[in-house]
Chain A
Amino acid sequence: QTKWNLPAAYPADNPHSENLIAFAKDVEAATSGKLQITVHPGASLFKAPDIKRAVVTGQAQMGEVLLSIHENEDPLFGVDVVPFLATSFPDAMKLYQASKPAIAKKLDAQGLKLLFVVPWAPQGVYVNKPLATIEDMKGLKWRAYNVGTARIGELVGAQSVTIQAAELPQALATGVVNSFMSSGGTGYDAKAWESLKYFYDVQAWIPKDYTFVNKAAFDALDKPTQEAILKAAATAETRGWKAWQDKSTWYLDQLKAKGMNVEPPSPALKAGFQKIGEQLTADWLKKAGADGQAIVDAYKKM
């Protein structure tokens, strides 16, 4: 009997964590308990930034992480968060298929085997006032938490504010921040409606969580167990994509029910974002080079 640990960053009732727990159960059932995977959700074993490194160095055998947080390490890891490249679930799936070989190869070089990938809800803009055009974003106190959001803030002329995720609800309540970009789910979790009244469903990008396994640990298993894992992984991927499509509508309904104005962007606002998107895609392509261009080309052909 083998026991594995799977550190995950999000709370136990987050659909990602629920999916991982179901995955662990599937594996246990398929191997008749020969491989037991303990999921450690809510960053209770390792925090999000440390999970990949922990699996690489064998501190845990498996891990799940929002891969785009590692975009500083390798621009390819940031392919999911290039604004307006893939803005719907079908597109996100295509982008995933287009980028999978390159990313799996990168992970493989670090000693990781990619198992499955599950999306989050599309990203929109939470803000304290109505936005007719992109110019209305000038002067907003905009939460910048990674290279992409900092650059968006810079391009729209907003004032970038550095706030940790844990302090976001309080920062919203006291007006330290009055706008940020995130998914319907994050705003729901942060109870954004208590301070901000508008959510623009601009669907800027769809970030994804990647679940991987330490290659050496995987190779040490017998063939049937390996196959059980791969089969459960495929099931988890399908289940995860389905769950998030349902969930993202549900989140938006919840925001509406709590009194937020949930709206699609006006054509003018959308055009403004598209222009920024082009700029940021160009930025990204410059960093990601030929590999990045190949992914985008493959994606556009799909």
Chain B
Amino acid sequence: MLRRALDLLYLGAGYAAGIFLVAIFAIMMVMSVGRQFAINIPAGDDFASWCMAAMAFLGLAHTFKRGEMIRVGLLLERLHGRTKQIAEIVALGIATAFILYFTRYAVQMTYDSWRFNDVAQGVVALPLWIPQLGFAGGLAILSIALIDEMVNVVVGNRPSYELGSPDETPDEFIERISQGGGG
């Protein structure tokens, strides 16, 4: 039940990120085509920027779970069994600590924006805490995904970011990428 809910959370945030990608595209096209017909999106550049930030952070947990967050695997790939598990726990522990710290201050910044009534400086004076929700929220969801993964590895499972089927060869990996799934 919890498992289902968490996976749905990561995927849902990932879809939201995808929607923001489409929104960036739509805003830019309306700005570009609109100019020919005297249509202007007030502060369109600001809205596109905010969509960009929302997209970048909301999709993080999904990207992480899918194993598409990159790292230098030089050493880890050579380890096996218990040593590998400990190494993974150390890496996950450091990453979790840092992202939690990051999240804490992203939330603080968003809260401050609301508290100080910080508004956008362009043509549309949107309160900044609104677009910053995607930033802080995306990081919070990534924190949850990292803790989730930490628990997963501590109980002895293989990290879920280690991709698809357990014995995938490099050729299969490239094949999978070339079929479009893997970024």
Query: Which positions in A face B, CB cutoff 8 Å?
Result: 49, 53, 56-57, 69-73, 110, 141, 144-147, 150, 159-164, 176
B105-143: which residues lie under 8 A (CB-CB) from chain A? Answer: 112, 116-123, 125
B45 within 8 A of A: yes
The answer to whether the Cβ of B38 comes within 8 Å of any Cβ in the partner chain is: yes
A69 and B42 contact, Cβ closer than 8 Å, known pairs A141-B35, A162-B31, A176-B35? no
- B residues within 8 A CB of A164? 45
Shortest CB-to-CB span from B105 to chain A, Å, is 10
Given the interface pairs A72-B119, A73-B118, A162-B31, the reply to whether A147 lies near B40 with Cβ below 8 Å is no
Contact (Cβ within 8 A) B38 A145: no
Contact B119 A162 (CB under 8 A): no
**B121–A162 contact, CB under 8 A?**
no
- Are A161 and B121 CB-contacts (below 8 A) given A57-B112, A141-B35? no
Q: A141 vs B118: C-alpha distance in the bound complex, in angstroms?
A: 30
Complex formed: what's the CA distance from A72 to B42 in Å? 14
Interchain CB contact under 8 A, A159 and B38: yes
- Contact status B112-A159, CB under 8 Å: no
Write out the residue numbers on chain A whose beta carbons fall within 8 Å of the beta carbon of B120: 72
CB pair A73–B123 under 8 Å, yes or no, is no
- The closest CB in chain B to the CB of A142 belongs to B40
8 pairs, A vs B, C-beta closer than 8 Å = A69-B121, A73-B118, A145-B122, A159-B35, A162-B41, A162-B43, A162-B44, A176-B35
Q: Take A72-B121, A145-B123 as given contacts and tell me if A162 and B40 are in contact as well, using a CB distance cutoff of 8 Å.
A: yes
Nearest CB of chain A from residue B108's CB, rounded to whole Å: 9
Contact A144 B40 (CB under 8 A): yes
Which residue of chain A has the shortest Cβ distance to B113 in the bound complex? A53
Q: How far is the CA of A70 from the CA of B117 in the complex (A)?
A: 12
Please provide the 10 A-B residue pairs with the shortest distance between their CB atoms, ordered closest to farther.
A72-B125, A159-B38, A72-B119, A160-B40, A150-B123, A162-B44, A69-B121, A164-B45, A162-B45, A49-B121
| Beta-carbon nearest neighbor of A56 in chain B | B116
Cα-based distance from A150 to B31 in the complex (angstroms): 15
* Chain B residues with CB under 8 A of A162: 31, 40-45, 123
Chain B residues closer than 8 Å to A56, beta-carbon distance:
116
Q: Is the CB of B42 within 8 A of A160?
A: yes
